[in-house]
Structure 1
Amino acid sequence: MTTIRPLTDADLPAVADIYAHYVTATVATFDETPPGVEEWRKKAGTGLPFLVAEVDGEVAGYAYLSQYRPKPAYRHTLEVSIYLAPGRTGRGLGRLLLGALVERAREASARQLVAVIADWGDPASARLHAAFGFEEAGRLKAVGFKHGRWIDTMLFQLDLG
């Protein structure tokens, strides 16, 4: 059974473990050192939605909203982040998390949602966001260097106004 629910403090080690996989084994994130539980606690403490997908009592993925940029004029624009545990992709969890997150963004009176997606050859994330109405808004070429290669990022945007 799958449940989408708000993050609890007890979920933070699983969140840190899931993200560590993406940091060390992929170019899906440009972090090069996995953040620890305390750093995740700070991210979760912003007051913005942070959700987990729980499958049979285990955290199988998570999604959260963060401020897109720190300057005050960006306060109505939020960035979407979604990560699934290895072995849990392709089962609809990302769709459930993103759907719930978009709804929470509307409830929080967000005007725009932005997804920054590393273009590393797997179109799954871009397809997922497009299915929810996100449109590609631009590309930044060769802005990240990780695991010996240059990576582009694609900017996707959803207008909630």
Structure 2
Amino acid sequence: MLEEEYAPRRRLPARLRPPAPDPAAFEYDIREAVVADLPSVRAIYNHYVANSVVTFDEVPLTLRALRSKFAHLQKLGFPFIVAESPSGEVLGYAYVYPWKEKAAYRFTVENSIYLGPAATGKGLGRALMAELIERSKAAGIKEIVAVIADKGAEGSIRLHEQFGFTEIGRMGRVGFKFERWLGTVLMQKSLK
């Protein structure tokens, strides 16, 4: 039998094929983060520290440092949100943090969004971004800046573009991780 004759027969008949996964079956709620979420948030973040260049951190984040950051954001009234599965698992998180500590920057923040590896490619990043932007507006924030790795974070760049972030600059060779030089793409969105 020729290859082209055999190819159509490789597919199982519909009655024998397993059903395709239902994308609507990926359920979650987005809510304000609480202290009890921080170990899960840390685990998600540390996955990226160890396995990717989307963060320039090279040392795993400690729970103590994360608790300190969380407390600071709560004091400022800035959003820190998580996406939670029906079983209570934290699937991803997002927050904004002061762009710079000088007082004149008080209405400008940098955003961060991270998803657990099993939650990528399912629209969760879009949902977290939309909610983060709305909560940032409600908190009185006027500008959001994103600092994104120029290699290995193309999905993040596309996500930001879809929400109206525009590229405002690039910095080349400012980070060195996994034995290679990396740059950053700077993007910004006004919330006026």
TM-score (norm 1): 0.97
**Aligned partners of 2:121 and 2:150: how far apart in 1?**
18
1:16 equivalent in alignment to 2:16? no
Higher strand share: 1
Is 1:27 matched up with 2:53? yes
Residue 54 of structure 1 corresponds to 84
Distance 1:140 1:55 in 2: 37
Aligned: 1:69 with 2:105: no
Amino acid at match of 2:50: T
- Point out the structure with the larger helix share: 2
Matches within 5 A, 1:1-161: 1-45=27-71, 46-47=73-74, 48-56=78-86, 57-161=88-192
Deviation of 1:121 after TM superposition, in Å, equals: 3.4
Percentage of matched positions with identical amino acids: 50
Pick which of 103-112 and 115-124 moved more: 115-124
The 8 Å contact of residues 52 and 152 in structure 2, kept in 1 or not, is answered as no
Q: Which residue of structure 1 lines up, in the alignment, with residue 3 of structure 2?
A: none
Instruction: Describe the SS at the equivalent of 2:64.
Output: helix
Whether the aligned pair in 1 keeps the contact of 2:53 and 2:152 (CA below 8 Å) is: no
Unaligned runs of 5+ in 1: none
| Total equivalences in the alignment | 161
**Ranges in structure 2 where 5+ consecutive residues have no aligned partner:** 1-26
Q: Secondary structure at the match of 1:69?
A: coil
One-letter amino acid of the counterpart of residue 55, structure 1: S
What's the CA shift string for 1:51-76, capped at 9, x where partnerless? 00112321010000100011111111
RMSD: 0.9
Q: Which runs of at least 4 in structure 1 moved beyond 2 Å after TM superposition?
A: none
Deviation at 1:122, TM superposition (A): 3.9
Higher Cα Rg, which structure:
2
41-50 or 128-137, which moves further after superposition?
A: 41-50
What TM-score do you get using the length of structure 2 for normalisation?
0.81
Higher-RCO chain (CA-CA 8 Å, sequence separation at least 6)? 1
